Structure 1
Amino acid sequence: MKTSILWINSRSVVIERIKAGKYKTKNKYQIYLNGAFLNESDKVVQSINQLTPNTFYSLEIKDGEKNEKIDFQTKQEYVTLDITEFGAKGDGIHDDTLCIQTAINCCPKNSRVYIPKGIYKITTLFLKSDLQIELEKDAILLADSDQSKYPILPGTIESYDEREDYNLGSWEGNPLPAYASIITGVNVSNVVISGEGTLDGGASFDNWWSYKREKGMPFRPRMLFLNHCNQIVVQGLTIKNSPSWTLHPYFSNDLKFIDLKIENPDHSPNTDGLDPESCKNVDIIGVYFSVGDDCIAVKSGKIYMGSKFKIPCENITIRNCYMEKGHGAVTIGSEMAGGVKNLLVKDCLFYDTDRGLRIKTRRGRGKDAILDQIIFEDIDMEEVKTPFVINSFYFCDPDGHTEYVRTKEVLPVDERTPVIKFLAFRNIKAYHCHFAALFLYGLPEKKIEKVELSNIEVTYAKHAQAGYPAMMEELNPVSKMGLYANNIKELILKDVVITGALQEPLQIINVDTYKKE
């Protein structure tokens, strides 16, 4: 076992205990800082906060088996701007938006905007480049529920020469007007939002979750929206009660989401945890999710955005995360017309989600909607209704129930046809499942190229529920279904054990090459 420094800045350091467990360590360990006991933890990814800038520290980890010592130095910091010195009240009553925004605007490089203990009522805060914001423990940024106070981000603004357009607002893969999010970044870089405090979107069924959007009105805000941003770190915070998607990086690169807690009620609508869309180099490490929709949903736009920009989501690492209550633990799509490639999910726990892996695509997403190098390794699931779903007939949106999308007949391959290349699932245990173990359904005219399943163990709940393994037409509810595989070029099974299926555990249909070891 080895402990490494995952991330460091002027006030915090994050450690990761390598091969110590999945999200939680097998045994608790003690943390000593400069010889003094700091705390005890059972998290694989652990933040250490309230440090002093430009200071040498000696960190010691004791777990009863082996002691480790790590020396490090925090980064420099020029000044700290305390928002209370800019007039912020922190009483949960006054609107502190302008005071905090003033501190942000005045913050020089290599400096910090500091938010001390208190409840700060806000609407939208806009980020700028070269900024660090820290929320102290028991500091809460509480979003106002009055929709009339929020600015609007237009979907597209036509350029003066009418050759291009400028995209600001977004909703579910299309450039559409939306309320500015609680924290909004547009074309900014080198930003850190960290600390032990809380971002509370203030959403409920009394406001945003029952919002009835009429034609021409903007869509709901996110908790954090990053539009064309680079080098962003979000670390340590609790983020809850988002009006819609919680964290939405959009056409952004080099992002880190570390040691966060994301909580939305399990019945709240569209409250995905984290939705990287057409982003590159994204690390999601040590994050706890409990949400009302997908925990993580990897996207790259609907057909307009995907075909116009052709920017996939790529180089995504999800590690040592805990996901529960969501529709899918890790979902790809359905808005992924630009494709998704090089996605690694490793050392994670999934509990009581509807699905573990959930791929949602369909005809019409386009030839650039290419999925490739999707890897899941070393994952434990429990009470997941269907652990693995690849659905090439996803039926949501107005065109989802058309004959073109729903038919299982072979259609011509053209510019509207999506592609699924290589997927691998290794060293995965899924206990107390309900609907089906694996449901893999490719297009008949463009089969999934290769699926590799290695060292997979699935069991079912004693009183398993019945339900639909995928959102597609012409399915009947199932319970304790085994592996269903249809329209795959090459399927490799090695040490796949499904215990307790009510029918034939392996249903292999229209598979060109099938290897079972």
Structure 2
Amino acid sequence: MELLWKSHMNMKIHAIKLVYILLLVTLMSSKVAESRKSKMIRSSFEYNAINCRAHSVSIKDFGGVGDGKTLNTKAFESAINHLNQYGSEGGSQLYVPAGKWLTGSFSLISHFTLYLNKDAVLLASQDMNEWPVIKPLPSYGRGRDTAGGRYTSLIFGTNLTDVIVTGDNGTIDGQGSFWWQQFHMKKLKYTRPYLIELMFSDSIQISNLTLLNSPSWNIHPVYSSNIIVKGITIIAPVRSPNTDGINPDSCTNIKIEDCYIVSGDDCVAVKSGWDEYGIKFGWPTKQLVIRRLTCISPYSATIALGSEMSGGIQDVRAEDITAVHTESGIRIKTAVGRGGYVKDIYVQRMTMHTMKWAFWITGNYGSHADKNYDPNALPEIRNINYRDMKAENVSMAARLEGISNDPFTGICISNVTISMAAKAKKQPWTCNDIEGITSGVSPKPCGLLPDQGIKKIKACHFPSDYLPIDMLELQKCSYSL
């Protein structure tokens, strides 16, 4: 009987073990399936772009190592050289997966997308040998930092068509402190590099990225057209030198939308060449729309027009702008010798918190390329329109300084309320050599901007039509790796 009982118990234990093993196998199979499913989800992604690509590779396929220490400049160059063959076959994409990818400067190609995973970080090399030196821009005549040439930007391209730099909010870290120190100690022979610069190019998209600590300017499209900059976060210390956010320069048909910028210089700086070089080159920036921009820059402007504006700036439209702890809201910077023009500027629905100036127009900016500028080359500033704005904790409402015998004309300001700071200037407006009108503006503007009354002027003009760049519809691109 005892033997029978033991046999029964052994069978029961065996059955329990068998059930346990079956449950364990089922659970493991379920986890493997979930893991496979998760892996499959992680290896596919979607994004919106001006064009999708027929061919896609990973930087790992070309020996890239994302450990933050291995230099990947040659891996990027090899991958892009390989992908160049697909330009006429549906274009190509280079995928940068999660990791820290140390690299020097590299150049893009046409019909190409550089895509950064959300956990990918491009780390800019601090070895100057990784940054080739190129000639100054022809519209500047010299480097911005020095009279010599300039270091190529981290991501560079010239004479391109259909080029995209985007991601799932991946990061490009310029590791700029090294360059800032060299600049402050005046040890640089050439102008500092930018993070992204595309020259003489058409159909550009830069979107959904975080840019950190650029050596100098962050995004610089120059001599280019049909440009979208969207969903960009830019962050640099507020005392870092010349870390401008987005600088469209001698460009046409540009859209800047949904960007957040903290920098040591202007958040958006619109440019078109410097003194006699910009006048001779004669390539304006025009048809620019800026929407939903948030800016923090205690020592510079939210949107600056100039100071290098010698090729001209025309038809700039900015709306739904937020400035927080920023030196000035809208600033026009120019000087005798610049020539060129800034005209047909329209700004509406802007909110400002803790500002030194809400509006600032400077006709004596100086800072010339060299001593060869023409003192008779006077800039033309006219048809400047600001409307529907609120500002609080402002030290001075406006500082509007034209040029003697060259007044800035057609300034219109309407429906603007500025709340002054507790220790604000006793004279909230200073004006000289300007002409214009106002309506519904508080505090009361200077005498050169007489109040026309609500009945005579309801609002300064803002165009109701759309620029060509607004007509461009992005495609939904889907990829599996």
Q: Identify whether the pair has TM-score above 0.5, normalized to the shorter chain.
A: yes
Q: TM-score, normalised by structure 1?
A: 0.73
1:272 matched to which residue of 2?
A: 244
The within-5 A match list for 1:367-516 is 369-397=340-368, 415-434=376-395, 436-464=396-424, 479=425, 481-489=427-435, 491-498=436-443, 505-509=444-448, 515-516=452-453
SS of aligned partner of 1:129: coil
Task: Flag the 1:318–1:75 CA change in 2: closer, same or farther, 3 A.
Answer: closer
The within-5 A match list for 1:35-434 is 51-52=45-46, 76-107=52-83, 108-109=86-87, 110-155=91-136, 171-172=143-144, 176-195=148-167, 196-204=169-177, 206-211=178-183, 212-213=185-186, 217-326=189-298, 327-366=300-339, 369-397=340-368, 415-434=376-395
Question: CA-to-partner distance for each residue in 1:244-268, whole Å, 9 max, x for gaps?
Answer: 1111111111111000001111010
SS of aligned partner of 1:347: strand
Residue type of the alignment partner of 1:130:
H
Greater RCO structure (CA 8 Å; 6+ sep): 2
- Tell me by how many angstroms 1:208 deviates: 3.9
Q: CA contact under 8 A between 1:173 and 1:335: conserved in structure 2? A: no
More strand by share: 1
SS of aligned partner of 1:84: helix
Distance 2:110 2:141 in 1: 20
Distance 2:345 2:75 in 1: 45
Task: Flag the 1:79–1:170 CA change in 2: closer, same or farther, 3 A.
Answer: farther
Distance 1:148 1:458 in 2: 50
- Tell me by how many angstroms 1:77 deviates: 3.4
- Tell me by how many angstroms 1:172 deviates: 3.5
SS of aligned partner of 2:441: strand
- Tell me by how many angstroms 1:218 deviates: 1.5
Q: TM-score, normalised by structure 2?
A: 0.78
Question: CA-to-partner distance for each residue in 1:455-481, whole Å, 9 max, x for gaps?
Answer: 0000022344xxxxxxxxxxxxxx253
Q: CA contact under 8 A between 1:209 and 1:269: conserved in structure 2? A: no
Q: CA contact under 8 A between 1:141 and 1:199: conserved in structure 2? A: yes
Q: CA contact under 8 A between 1:173 and 1:301: conserved in structure 2? A: no
1:62 matched to which residue of 2?
A: none
Task: Flag the 1:169–1:208 CA change in 2: closer, same or farther, 3 A.
Answer: farther
Question: CA-to-partner distance for each residue in 1:71-128, whole Å, 9 max, x for gaps?
Answer: x999653221111011001000110111122112222233211000000000101011
The runs of 5 or more residues in structure 1 that have no matched partner are 1-48, 54-71, 157-165, 406-413, 465-478, 499-504
Task: Flag the 1:319–1:265 CA change in 2: closer, same or farther, 3 A.
Answer: same
- Tell me by how many angstroms 1:168 deviates: 11
Distance 1:210 1:50 in 2: 42
Measured on the aligned residues, the alpha-carbon RMSD in Å equals: 2.8
Task: Flag the 1:429–1:287 CA change in 2: closer, same or farther, 3 A.
Answer: same
Q: CA contact under 8 A between 1:174 and 1:305: conserved in structure 2? A: no
More helix by share: 2
Task: Flag the 1:508–1:168 CA change in 2: closer, same or farther, 3 A.
Answer: closer
The runs of 5 or more residues in structure 2 that have no matched partner are 1-42, 455-481
Question: CA-to-partner distance for each residue in 1:158-205, whole Å, 9 max, x for gaps?
Answer: xxxxxxxx889963399951011111111112001111210100111x
